[in-house]
């Protein structure tokens, strides 16, 4: 509390110094050193700002800014979005490369009995947030985790649908005419645990990551479409709600190629399917 009071008083004193007539005559920054921090008074012909810097010369994330224009004090408040990472240079923080948005193919990988249309089967999703722990002083190797949400459509030949017969999930012949698409859809929430290595080239990161993930599947439905109308076949499919996947990605800058493989079966009692995903991701 005592240190905060000293800092507050020092900033207040600098604020008054900054607006004294004549100090803004030259367009130069004045820097004061306080312990391991720098306090910079930025002066131009229009306004005066006071900025706090850390010992590495990196500006702190702004939550409040004091400006002085023609002797008037202007206060700005900054509110951060939860989807924008706040990056601070602290001990073991590691900034990895989970894609903000990813899209690609998702294959059930169940053989010919699934009557799959792999070219039309896809998944897409976003990373809600991620965290990382640096494992080396050079910040080249770290352990990453995240929360991701994804949406999957596995398509089948139009004359088949996925249904539950008794307690078993199987592909069933569909004699309905005019069917445009037949598919399984679901949403997943995924928590990956990834070891990532990265190296800078021309101020951009090249990186590679590998690990495992756990996903929770929900909103599972088997449907088919005739024209613009969709018909639900079943919501009671024997899908394992929890899946364990092998995960990996490789990339450069804001682009990566990802892949994942289901270590656990998709269905409790039904075709032996270990889903495979392959696609691209983008970091904005």
| Number of Cβ within a 10 Å radius of residue 23 | 14
**Local confidence band at 213 (pLDDT 50, 70, 90 cut-offs):** very high
Please tell me the predicted confidence (pLDDT) of residue 45: 63
Q: Does residue 194 surpass a pLDDT of 90?
A: yes
Distance CA 7, CA 13 (A): 10
Please tell me the predicted confidence (pLDDT) of residue 212: 98
> pLDDT above 70 covers what percent of the chain?
72
- Whole-angstrom CA distances from 2 to 34, 40, 53, 60, 86 are 15, 22, 20, 21, 27
How do residues 138-175 score in pLDDT, each as one tens digit?
Answer: 889 999 999 999 999 999 999 999 999 888 999 999 99
Segments making up each domain of the chain, as ranges: 2-77, 101-282
**Two tokens at 261?**
């493989």
**HSE on the CB side for 170, CA within 13 Å?**
7
How do residues 92-107 score in pLDDT, each as one tens digit?
Answer: 789 899 999 999 999 9
Supply the DSSP symbol for 111. Answer: -
pTM score: 0.68
Which of 254, 241, 143, 144 is CA-nearest to residue 188?
241
Under CATH, which architecture does the 101-282 domain have? Beta Barrel (2.40)
Task: Give the contacts of 57 (CB within 8 A, at least 6 positions apart).
Answer: 38
Distance CA 153, CA 156 (A): 10
For the chain, give the mean pLDDT.
82
Q: Does residue 120 surpass a pLDDT of 50?
A: yes
Distance CA 83, CA 259 (A): 24
**Two tokens at 182?**
């037949």
């Amino acid at each position: 509390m005592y240190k905060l009071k000293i800092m507050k008083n020092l900033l207040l004193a600098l604020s008054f110094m900054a607006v004294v007539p004549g100090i803004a005559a030259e367009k130069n920054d004045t820097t004061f050193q306080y312990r391991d921090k720098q306090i910079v008074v930025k002066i131009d012909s229009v306004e005066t700002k006071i900025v706090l810097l850390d010992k590495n010369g990196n500006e702190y994330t702004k939550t409040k800014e004091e400006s002085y224009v023609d002797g008037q004090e202007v206060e700005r408040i900054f509110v951060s979005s939860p989807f924008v990472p706040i990056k601070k240079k602290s001990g073991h923080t590691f900034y990895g490369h989970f894609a903000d948005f990813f899209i690609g193919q998702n294959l059930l990988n169940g053989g010919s009995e699934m009557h799959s249309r792999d070219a039309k089967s896809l998944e897409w999703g976003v990373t809600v947030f991620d965290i990382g722990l640096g494992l080396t002083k050079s910040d080249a190797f770290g352990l990453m985790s995240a929360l991701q949400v994804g949406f999957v459509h596995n398509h089948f030949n139009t004359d088949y649908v996925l249904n539950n017969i008794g307690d078993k999930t199987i592909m069933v012949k569909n004699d309905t005419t005019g069917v445009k698409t037949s598919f399984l859809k679901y949403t997943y929430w995924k928590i990956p645990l990834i070891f990532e290595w990265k190296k800078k080239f021309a101020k951009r990161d090249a990186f590679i990551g590998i690990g495992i993930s756990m996903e929770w599947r929900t909103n599972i439905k088997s449907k088919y479409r005739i024209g613009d109308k969709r018909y639900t076949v079943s919501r009671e499919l024997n899908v394992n709600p929890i899946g364990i996947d092998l995960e990996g990605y490789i990339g450069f800058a804001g682009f990566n190629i990802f892949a994942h493989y289901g270590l656990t079966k998709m269905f409790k009692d039904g075709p032996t399917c270990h889903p495979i995903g392959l696609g691209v991701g983008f970091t904005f």
